[in-house]
Amino acid sequence: MLTLQQIKSNPDDIVRRLAIKGFDGKNEIARVLQLDSERRAQQQSSDAEAAELNNLAARIGACMKAGQREDAQALKERVAQLKQSQKELADKLAGTEAAIREILLGVPNVPCDMVPEGRSAADNVVDKEGGRMPELPADALPHWDLARKYNLIDFDLGVKITGAGFPVYLGKGARLQRALIQFFLDEAGKAGYLEVQPPYVVNEASGIGTGQLPDKEAQMYVVTLDNLYLIPTAEVPVTNLYRDVIIPDDRLPIKNCAYSACFRREAGSYGKDVRGLNRLHQFDKVEIVRIERPEDSYAALEEMKDHVQGLLDKLGLPWHILRLCGGDMSFTSAITFDFEVYSAAQERWLEVSSVSNFETYQSNRLKCRYRGADKKTHLAHTLNGSALALPRIMAALLENNQTPEGIVVPECLRKYTGFDIID
């Protein structure tokens, strides 16, 4: 969440930047400033009364030594009044701080200066593109037909077992899926990311820490009996490793990667754009997460983008990078770059990765801090990205590599699959 320091330093600029995300924050920011003024007044009163209590303790001692019992009794009565007042002030202060936090939890992160204005995906900017478009046979099939033809994925079995959006991978399809996971993890390891195997369920505090709650609870699967949530991405448990942690300066940067299944309700999703692997309720993903000093985080963001680009180049997929406009960004990010690959048989671009810098928005919720060279504690910057999400990568690989003889496996995956072609 936004810090009070950010808001107080330039509230008009905060309101302006929130508007780029389509959020009218005038009332919220004004209310936070009012409550903060009340909080400071309450704190000053509390501090003044605490000082008076200290003074009274010394005066009572002096009166007792001097045998001035009536004076001492009057001072003790004043102490009792102050202690009751202190309790009431403490309750008011806690209530005011809770009210400030409640408002701030509902205010999104502000976009950084590189974020273009715009209201929807149509206003996103293509920053970079690469890869070669495939040449497909005239009778090219979409991946859901290829999956059936080569017995790679059974969508109907998934519906039988669970419901729509939960496919069953079979034979070479399962091996190709496993190969992609291992390839992504190995590449992350080569890039210096420490592999973590996190839980697939998190508590409410973890969801709040990374900003999934209270913003995205309708999109998450909830274990109601235990008040736990199935993770929508490994970002949530991995980033929460550093909740309520003060990191020594010499440990930065922290670079973690994790494979996990991901669970998203995707409420309201329907139509041709969700067919096959295009949009699932359960899918596999390798995530990269970084904890950085603020002055280093944007260089780290570029490194993460280069890493994802390198994966797509090795897979031989045509790609482009979108710099998301304010209206298409997530609640929590300061800037996001989406990677899309071209699905030749569907003739459309498919999102396969989002790489984001959250600056201090998550770390303020998490109380994730580091102790700098100045020996003071500072909020860290958090970043994460998909490297990569598997379903649409699998869809593009099947469609773009189909030939009359079968589906050609990219060279980088063959040592994991044990086969060169799916026939």
Task: Answer yes or no: are the C-beta atoms of 223 and 229 closer than 8 Å.
Answer: yes
Provide the pLDDT for residue 204.
96
Question: For position 68, what pLDDT does the model report?
Answer: 84
Instruction: Name the one residue in this structure whose structure tokens are 């031989």.
Output: 316
- CATH, domain range 121-422: 3.30.930.10
If phi > 0 it is left, if psi is from -120 to 50 it is alpha, else beta; for residue 67 that is left
If one counts every other C-beta atom within 10 angstroms of the C-beta of residue 297, the result is: 21
- Per-residue pLDDT at 224: 94
Mean pLDDT by 10 residues, the chain (423 residues): 97 97 97 97 92 85 81 83 90 96 97 97 97 91 97 97 97 98 98 98 97 86 96 98 98 98 78 82 98 98 98 98 97 98 95 98 98 96 98 97 96 98 96
Residues 6+ apart with CB under 8 A from 375: none
Tokens of 176: 């190709």
* DSSP per-residue string spanning 276-290: TTTS-SEEEEEEEEE
Rounded Cα gap, residues 147 and 144, in angstroms: 5
At the top level of CATH, the class of 4-105 is: mainly alpha
Q: Give the DSSP per-residue string, 162-214.
A: T-TT--EE-HHHHHHHHHHHHHHHHHHHHTTPEE----SEEEHHHHHHHT-TT
Domains of the chain, residue spans:
4-105, 121-422
pLDDT at 273: 67
* H and E: helices and strands count for the chain: 13, 19
Predicted local distance difference test score (pLDDT) of residue 69: 79
What gap in Å lies between CA 43 and CA 210, rounded to an integer? 30
What is the identity of the amino acid at 36?
A: D
Overall residue count recorded for the chain in this entry: 423
Phi, psi of 149 (to 5 degrees): -60, -40
Residue 270's pLDDT is 55
Sign of CA dihedral 61, 63, 67, 73: negative
Token pair belonging to 226: 């235990």
What is the C-alpha separation between 36 and 42, in angstroms, rounded? Answer: 10
Give the span between the Cα atoms of 303 and 191, in whole angstroms. Answer: 10
